[in-house]
Amino acid sequence: LAKTTQPISMDSYEGQEVNITCSHNNIATNDYITWYQQFPSQGPRFIIQGYKTKVTNEVASLFIPADRKSSTLSLPRVSLSDTAVYYCLVGVVDSNYQLIWGAGTKLIIKP
Amino acid sequence: ETGVTQTPRHLVMGMTNKKSLKCEQHLGHNAMYWYKQSAKKPLELMFVYSLEERVENNSVPSRFSPECPNSSHLFLHLHTLQPEDSALYLCASSQGVAVPDTQYFGPGTRLTVL
């Protein structure tokens, strides 16, 4: 199983770029990497997903090195509203259908 | 966000009570999930249903009993719970069970077991 590890918390300031890295040393060939965002009193919300190299959408970028043992979520020019918990999820596509969630990174954005 | 709704939002129950959590998805999805979220711990996948059939049960205690009467509704029946079962219970849905399928989550039910 691909156990995921991510920092417990991070601080940054408005307008800065924030990078959150997730380690998943035992990732399998068919696994995808997905990041979710969660605000208090809400369920997680999908941010971005990738398999390898780089993926970019309107809110974030996801960098995955060739060995795929880690991934980095990049949030450009953060604002106060980006204060949330960010989860890394590694999907295991096999008959056991395991979904391995990280413990989450609490990101606090300061003015 | 009204794609996935959960009721009640808060629930306090004694260890001898029986209660049920309800989840409804309005997205036309074929798969639904129950998760347990405890403080400072990863989300724990409890149950997965695809087309109303259970496809995954991660060794969840029998005091938790899921029910999926149709692809839009999911229930979690609770009985004889323990205080350590206090947590946020999240429901999610996705188009299918194949990864990568984006999961859409409800707001959760905050459960407290006394």
- Model confidence over B50-90: pLDDT tens digits? 888 887 777 899 999 999 999 999 999 999 999 999 999 99
Of these ranges, A23-27, A62-66, B54-58, the one predicted with the greatest mean pLDDT is: A62-66
Q: Which residues of A touch B42 (CB under 8 A)?
A: 4, 87, 100-104
Is there a contact between A7 and A102 (Cβ–Cβ < 8 Å)?
no
Q: What is the mean pLDDT of residues A83-110?
A: 82
SS3 A104: coil
Q: How many CB atoms lie within 10 A of CB B97?
A: 18
Residue of chain A minimizing CA distance to B41: A103
Comparing A93 with B21, which gets the higher pLDDT? B21
Say which residue the tokens 């995921």 belong to: A4
Q: Quick one: closest CA in A to B36, which residue?
A: A43
3-state secondary structure of B85: helix
Q: Does A64 touch chain B (CB under 8 A)?
A: no
Over pLDDT 90: what percentage of chain A? 70
Lowest mean pLDDT among A59-63, B13-17, B36-40, B99-103: B99-103
Q: Say whether residue B100 is in contact with chain A using an 8 A CB cutoff.
A: yes
Backbone phi and psi for residue A82, each to the nearest 5 degrees, phi listed first: -85, -5
Give the closest of B45, B56, B108 to A43, CB-based.
B108
Task: Tell me if chain A has a CB within 8 Å of the CB of B97.
Answer: yes
Is the pLDDT at A7 greater than 80? The verdict is yes
For residue B32, the one-letter residue type is M
pLDDT in tens, B9-54: 999 998 888 999 999 999 999 999 999 999 878 888 899 998 888 8
For B9, phi then psi, to 5°, come to -80, -30
Residue A68 has pLDDT above 80, yes or no: yes
Question: Average pLDDT of A13-20?
Answer: 97
Which pLDDT does position A32 carry in this prediction? 87
Q: Please, which residues 19-48 of chain B have a Cβ atom closer than 8 Å to chain A? A: 40-43, 45, 48
CB B77 within 8 A of CB B66: yes
Chain B residues with beta carbon closer than 8 angstroms to that of A42: 1, 105, 107-108
Torsion of CA B94, B97, B102, B105, to 10 degrees: 50
Residue B56 confidence (pLDDT): 76
- Chain B nearest-CA distance from A104, in A, is 7
Per-residue DSSP letter, B53 = E
pLDDT confidence of residue A1: 57
- E-only strand ranges, B26-81: 31-37, 44-50, 53-57, 64-70, 73-79
